Amino acid sequence: MGGPAPVLYVSGEESIEQIGNRADRMRIGTDELFLYASTDVEDILEKTQTLSLRALVIDSIQTVYLRGVTGSAGGLSQVKECTEVLLRFAKKTNIPVFLIGHVTKSGEIAGPRVLEHIVDVVLYMEGEKCSSHRLLRSVKNRFGSTDELGVFEMSQSGLQAVSNPSEMFLSEQQSDSEFLAGLAVTVIMDGSRAFLIEIQALCVAGSSVSRQVNGVQAGRAEMIISVLIKQAGLKLQENGVFLNVVSGVSLSETAGDLAVAAAICSSFLEFPLPVGIAFIGEIGLGGEIRTVPRMDKRINTVVKLGYKKCIIPKSAETSLSALDLGDTEIVACRNLKEMINIVFRKR
């Protein structure tokens, strides 16, 4: 057989016509992809013997069955035994086998937990109903690190890789306008990937609602507000403070503390932050700004995306000497008062 070895895609849920129609709609044309509709594992493996395969894809493991094994397809014993047979096939032939599995409402792989123990790699495709973006996350990898994250966008022509994932979490910047009051950007880590996200704050004098937070831990937000009142002298007591992280992201690490404080200050002082400034740092109870892990990776991301200025803790300054900062100005601050005096100075 001339040319590259083909991939066999086995569908247990859809007919060849259905998959073919979708491939035509998405203009997928290839001689290297074979389709086969079957749910019988022995029949599937029999078909592979006549082909010199590059890979075998089973969609899905919950729909295939083995003759002679009790229970219906998708049952505990069937899923376990089918996976074992496919594992032996992969080891014997050296052909990679991709098993597509259903997930439960809680986001776990449906079926026995042993399924995850048998296979070499477990990948989850995650996505929100209201978002076109999908995250491919590794939770097990016998061949390498699980510290990787793939970001894709669902388009009319299928999933497309996103080269700049930070675009997902940043709103369109309205340059030098009043709309920027209360917006601040920080860098979060997910595995080895760094993302810029935008934090929004709104301070309303005399509001009947004292605090409302989305995407920021309530206790953390309360602490940052209290430190701003006590250590920075902001009179936030009479103000309702609303916090939000753009695109529904949850801020679970302390690296965003400084951006939360900057966003609150910007809204309270009605002082728009300039476009192209990022904040990275943890805030202590004394108002001091502390360093956070992977500082070099975070700052590299800020530099790569063309940000003009980055506010960081003073203690992190020395560790950045080896970085190529390009045109990005790094401003190191010891505490919140120093940050406010530098950033919110009349230009």
Give the model confidence (pLDDT) of 267-278 as tens digits: 999 999 888 899
Of 26-30, 110-114, 179-183, which one has max mean pLDDT?
26-30
Range scoring the smallest mean pLDDT among 73-87, 93-107, 214-228, 249-263: 93-107
Residue 175 pLDDT level (bands cut at 50, 70, 90):
very low
pLDDT of residue 333: 96
Angle at 293 between CA 340 and CA 220, to 5 degrees: 55
pLDDT of residue 111: 63
Q: How far apart are CA 36 and CA 324, in angstroms?
A: 52
User: Is pLDDT at 294 greater than 80 in this prediction?
Assistant: yes
Residue % of the chain over a pLDDT of 70: 90
For the entire predicted model, the pTM comes to: 0.65
User: Is pLDDT at 132 greater than 90 in this prediction?
Assistant: no
Q: How far apart are CA 77 and CA 65, in angstroms?
A: 10
Token readout for 38 is 């079957």
Q: How far apart are CA 130 and CA 206, in angstroms?
A: 34
Give the model confidence (pLDDT) of 69-108 as tens digits: 988 888 888 999 999 999 999 999 999 999 998 877 666 6
pLDDT of residue 307: 87
**Residues contacting residue 68 through CB under 8 Å, at least 6 positions apart:** none
User: Is pLDDT at 308 greater than 50 in this prediction?
Assistant: yes
User: Is pLDDT at 228 greater than 60 in this prediction?
Assistant: yes
CA dihedral (328, 334, 337, 341) in degrees, to 10, reads -30
Listed in order, strand segments (DSSP E) in 62-120 are: 97-100
Range scoring the smallest mean pLDDT among 102-116, 144-158, 169-183, 279-293: 169-183
Give the model confidence (pLDDT) of 27-47 as tens digits: 888 888 999 999 999 999 999
Residues 181 and 267: beta-carbon distance below 8 Å: yes
Domains in the chain, please, with CATH?
1-119 (3.40.50.300), 121-163 (no CATH), 169-344 (3.30.230.10)
Nearest to 194 by CA among 296, 290, 324, 123: 296
User: Is pLDDT at 241 greater than 90 in this prediction?
Assistant: yes
Write phi, then psi, for 226 (nearest 5 degrees).
-65, -40
Q: How far apart are CA 255 and CA 232, in angstroms?
A: 19
pLDDT of residue 41: 95
**Residues contacting residue 246 through CB under 8 Å, at least 6 positions apart:** 169, 170, 171, 197, 198, 199, 200
Write phi, then psi, for 254 (nearest 5 degrees).
-80, -5
Range scoring the smallest mean pLDDT among 130-139, 306-315, 335-344: 130-139
